[in-house]
Structure 1
Amino acid sequence: MYGRGKIWCVWILLLLATSGSVQAQAPQYVFKISFKDKAGAPPLSSASSFLSQRSLDRRAAQGIALDSTDRPVSPTYINDVLTTTGGIFHVKSKWLNFLVILLTDSSKILTLSGKPYIRSIEYTGYYDPYLHNKTSNGGINQNAQVTGSSNYYGSAWGQTDMVHGDYLHDRGFKGQGKLIAVLDAGFVGVDIGLGFDSLVQSGRIVDAYDLVHASTDVYSYSGHGTGCLSTMAAYLPGTYVGTAPLAEYALYCTEVEGIDQPAEMDNMVAGIERADSVGADIISSSLGYNNFQGPGYTTLTYADIDGKTTAPAKAVNLATAKGILCVITAGNEGGNTWNYILTPGDADSAVTVGSVNNNRDPAGDSGFGPNSAGRIKPDVCLLGSSAYIMQTSGTPVPGNGTSYATPQLAGWAACLWQATSNTTPWELRNAITQSAHRYLNPGAQFGYGIPDFGKAFELMGIKDVAADLNTDNWLKAYPNPFDKQLTIGCYMDTNEKADITIFDVTGRKVAASALQLNKGVQTVTIDLPGLSAGTYYLKAVTETKNTTIALSHR
């Protein structure tokens, strides 16, 4: 759930007494089978068959080599388990090397006794009504203005201003080219909701999958993920603007609302791996776990929240090692019997997010750190008490919890990463935490405090091109050399219209745009896909100015 949680238990067979013949839609038992090796799995030399080019490119950009965890689970073992038990495939993890199956007759799990390739079997869930009868986990889609005021951000201005996020937006960094994977319970109404139409119509949802029900429909369950996504992706200028309104998104359902069972932890692991496979740069998850309700489930102790023990904490650490920034909720257990952060927010590599109120004080229910190994958690805090989210009707409403603070941070991190593409998740995390207002005096509920993204921008060593603009030096374009996008910074003495044209060396026009430029400094980002490497020229003409800039395309 969103602040209360779960942990895996040792496999028990206390439910075998219920086995026998069942109907097609009978309840389903969930079992996790862990394997000893990956015999028969595709080799790393054929990585392009199981990782997208975007995923491979992310690794190459950060100098990260492929390793054995990148190889898929053995198809031979999967087929043998399913054939032997008659079970239904649910999810799998190549990083932790396990398969999760669904059985309507729990006694069938005994047919795996003596299989030499099996390391362990665990009972992890029971669902009535049943989850699904699908036989695979679905394919992966591998193709995946001056703003700083309430007049632009609407109801999102308070939470934007708290962290100086408009500093990034004003310089043209709104998440373009970054892929954020969101793990939640569902995203009801996003496909038709006002405020998400620019996201949907521009095709920036590059992958969507419900790992709970084995379906590509993520829009029929739960509004929790909708609210979380809105803090990043919603775009209704003057009403509500999210933190990364031009990023791309992958939406994954891994949680069953109202049911606390260990199987959801394995769904999360599978969701994290799918995010890696499609090439996600950032994972945002407002889900946390600490105990389960039901017979035979083991409750976590604080000692288990050590950053490296639970399955999802292991997955978060592995994802970071593979070049993904993982932004995870601290959970809403502050003041309750548990009181601490949840897993995988305890993960060593996670950027764990707590919640503050409008007075910049920790929210009472924000989970306390550190993790049990002594690492400072949460890492930072953002507005979560009366933070605004966007309803699918286009109406902003206040919401509460670390659930809504977490995705805000993920979106701002995407904008910061966009500004400095040749960096690693650890470098980003360090800049964000070092920018926070209590970096030198961290607290158990505050962590390092509230980040300042203007300061983080400076800590990353990014040259602020816009700051150099003036009447005489009125136009700049960056980065140069550029790839698929170009940001144009302008300084205007008055409001003027501008015609921007880009030519190749033969004088052929390859792109053009008409802009309304306002007095002062502003940035505009334009997409330039499909251009060949070489030299190009940008010509900008206003009523009073005429400038040409030479550009290089990689």
Structure 2
Amino acid sequence: MRVSNKSTATTSTAVHTRIWFLLLSILIQSNCFSQGKYLVLLNDKANSPYSVNKPEQFLSQRSILRRQKQNIPVRERDLPVNPAYITQLQQAGAKIWFPSRWLNAVLVEATDATLATIQKLPFVKGLDFSRSLSSRRISAEATLTTISKLAKVEQDSLAYGDSKFQVEQIGVDNMHRQGYHGEGMLIAVLDAGFRNANQVPFLKPLFSESRVLATYNFVRKETSVYEGDDHGLQALSAIAATTDNQLYGTAYKASFVLLCTEIGNSESRLEEANWLFGAEYADSVGVDVISSSLGYSTFDDASTSYTYQDMDGKTALSSRAAQIATETGMVVVVAAGNEGNKPWRYITAPSDAVSVLAIGAVTQTGQRASFSSFGPPPDGRVKPDLVARGQGVVLGLASGLIGTGNGTSFATPLVAGLAAGFWQAHPQLTAAQVTASLRQSGSQYSTPNDELGYGIPNFERASALAATYSQLLVYPNPFSETEPLAVQWGEIAANTPIEATLINLAGRVLWRNSATYSGLTTFVLPNLNLSAGLYFLTLVSGDKKRTVKVIKR
């Protein structure tokens, strides 16, 4: 569901892209007639030719450096699917579409008979969702945007035109004024098509400066993304466009990877699988920020639809993928959904993932847009995380004109551009710290609600928080027992033991746990039935001991 050093990076990404597509071209050769697409889960990665000690075999140098900078190890989860298993799946009669490193799975197309054979293979664990991901029902999707041509306005000091309202609302005008426009940052946009993106005048600098580093269409298994749907183009324009007196994107000098994962004329779980493959691709080429204006809740085949209870950050395929994406060191920014005035009402996957920034929509005056999805998830966490302008957003159209649109689809890329520029301004931060800073910069961080989450983010407020990361940060604060409690402690080294103790005002120990510090350590509190109020969290690592006040909501 649609809800929208440079030379070194270019060279390493291009080389890795060619290798990636070469491998895919080998994998997908098959002429078997088939009736359904299934995500086949595998038991292991035993006897793999790949090694975590040689990540350059399957990750670009930029991707490796992103992990190293954040003390994120390359794990077995990052290893590609064992090629021997893929070969045996082909020999069993399956048509191979895409493998998934993170889930150790392969999307195959197979008849019922072939599927039965596949499930008997000793290395096959089972099927994700236990049935075909593709839907046989096709229905037209109503557009989520309302477009109107804008009158030309007088040039202001920064030539934003009418887009200045959406830029100023989140402090990006100050970000630009300080010289941060996304230079050197790599943003992946996962969406439907980017029709005419390589031709429209408002994106001309993006292409003339060769800042689109890679493209891929996971729906059609090809590199072309510039035809078909234009929803991705509109979302991209909110980040990347440059048109004096009309529209400037929030990170208009960033570089981009454009990935088509959405099937325009149907709605099925297959699109979530495409989202997974897109996120893995983004990771492998070294993307810093993912912006995705897509959301999933109900499907054409109602029997495959999710329920509200499934929006727990762990059930939906796209949510599992989005969470893993954050754990590889990317900032993931996704649309909360346009269900606020519909029967579903609540946020959609993958915005329910714990560590993503789920973005809702507000008007120019900061009020919730009527369509913006509500939180909370069924486990009570704060969602949406943040909001930005999503009603009357100035954006670019496939016709080459500048217009306006409505949807969390367009609030999302505004915040993704903010995240890229903020990270550019504070490169010492980890992705988790960028996410936490933006959350805490929200206009109502101390009093979040189910409509706006933590509120409207702001570049200056987030920047003021950045300095604190050299010391100790515990978040979320206020916290709830349904949210993991994250600790970032700049004074201690990675791979250092850390012990956490929660104490009440009377000094009684309520909970204690220990872990190995990895740059970001997350503690999951048991159900302690805590009353709302003030508590103390004591952290000990070696000779260092710190106690911080935490508030239970």
- Preserved contact between residue 81 and residue 101 of structure 2 (Cα < 8 Å): yes
Counterparts in 2 of 1:423-502, with a 5 A limit? 423-461=429-467
Offset at residue 155 of structure 1 (A): 2.7
Q: Which residue of 1 aligns with 2:410?
A: 404
Normalized against structure 2, the TM-score is what? 0.74
Offset at residue 310 of structure 1 (A): 1.9
Which amino acid is 1:120 matched to? G
Q: Which residue of 2 aligns with 1:312?
A: 318
Cα distance in 1 for partners of 2:421, 2:244 equals 18
- Preserved contact between residue 295 and residue 337 of structure 2 (Cα < 8 Å): yes
Q: Which residue of 1 aligns with 2:55?
A: 47
Offset at residue 37 of structure 1 (A): 0.5
Q: Which residue of 1 aligns with 2:491?
A: none
Offset at residue 199 of structure 1 (A): 0.4
Cα distance in 2 for partners of 1:213, 1:150 equals 44
What SS does the corresponding residue of 2:134 show, helix, strand or coil? strand
Offset at residue 197 of structure 1 (A): 1.0
Offset at residue 201 of structure 1 (A): 1.3
Offset at residue 149 of structure 1 (A): 4.1
Q: Work out which of the residue numbers 382, 386, 392 in structure 2 matches 1:386.
A: 392
Counterparts in 2 of 1:216-365, with a 5 A limit? 216-294=223-301, 297-365=303-371
Offset at residue 431 of structure 1 (A): 1.6
Offset at residue 274 of structure 1 (A): 0.4
Normalized against structure 1, the TM-score is what? 0.73
Q: Which residue of 2 aligns with 1:125?
A: 134
Q: Which residue of 2 aligns with 1:21?
A: none
- Preserved contact between residue 333 and residue 339 of structure 1 (Cα < 8 Å): yes
- Preserved contact between residue 135 and residue 266 of structure 2 (Cα < 8 Å): no
Offset at residue 293 of structure 1 (A): 1.6
Cα distance in 2 for partners of 1:36, 1:98 equals 9
Offset at residue 3 of structure 1 (A): 4.1
- Preserved contact between residue 27 and residue 128 of structure 1 (Cα < 8 Å): no
Which amino acid is 1:181 matched to? A
Q: Work out which of the residue numbers 149, 165, 173 in structure 1 matches 2:180.
A: 173
Which amino acid is 1:257 matched to? G
Offset at residue 77 of structure 1 (A): 0.9
Which amino acid is 1:251 matched to? L
Matched, 1:211 2:230: no
Where structure 2 has 5 or more consecutive residues not aligned to the other structure, the ranges are: 5-30, 139-154, 469-553
Cα distance in 2 for partners of 1:40, 1:225 equals 40
Offset at residue 110 of structure 1 (A): 2.1
Matched, 1:422 2:428: yes
Q: Which residue of 2 aligns with 1:143?
A: none
Matched, 1:61 2:69: yes
Matched, 1:99 2:99: no
Offset at residue 226 of structure 1 (A): 0.3
Which amino acid is 2:445 matched to? Y
Cα distance in 2 for partners of 1:392, 1:3 equals 18
62-71 or 392-401, which deviates more: 392-401
Offset at residue 154 of structure 1 (A): 1.9
120-129 or 325-334, which deviates more: 120-129
Cα distance in 2 for partners of 1:256, 1:28 equals 18
Which amino acid is 1:76 matched to? A
Cα distance in 1 for partners of 2:262, 2:450 equals 28
Cα distance in 2 for partners of 1:311, 1:222 equals 23
Change (3 A) 1:422 1:151: closer
What SS does the corresponding residue of 2:216 show, helix, strand or coil? strand
Matched, 1:2 2:11: no
Partner deviation per Cα, 1:506-534 (whole Å, 9 max, x = no partner)? xxxxxxxxxxxxxxxxxxxxxxxxxxxxx
Offset at residue 128 of structure 1 (A): 9.2
Cα distance in 1 for partners of 2:119, 2:371 equals 45
Cα distance in 2 for partners of 1:173, 1:389 equals 21
Which amino acid is 2:177 matched to? D
What is the count of residue pairs matched by the alignment? 423
Identity %: 36
Offset at residue 28 of structure 1 (A): 4.8
Matched, 1:160 2:167: yes
What SS does the corresponding residue of 2:392 show, helix, strand or coil? strand
Q: Which residue of 1 aligns with 2:401?
A: 395
Q: Which residue of 1 aligns with 2:207?
A: 200
Structure number with greater Rg is 1
Change (3 A) 1:69 1:188: same
- Preserved contact between residue 188 and residue 221 of structure 1 (Cα < 8 Å): yes
Partner deviation per Cα, 1:247-298 (whole Å, 9 max, x = no partner)? 0100111110131111111110110000000000000101110121227x42
- Preserved contact between residue 184 and residue 255 of structure 2 (Cα < 8 Å): yes
Q: Which residue of 1 aligns with 2:81?
A: 73
- Preserved contact between residue 91 and residue 270 of structure 1 (Cα < 8 Å): yes
Offset at residue 150 of structure 1 (A): 6.7
**Greater fraction helix:** 2
What SS does the corresponding residue of 1:461 show, helix, strand or coil? helix
Cα distance in 1 for partners of 2:32, 2:83 equals 27
Matched, 1:84 2:92: yes
Offset at residue 102 of structure 1 (A): 2.2
What SS does the corresponding residue of 1:228 show, helix, strand or coil? helix
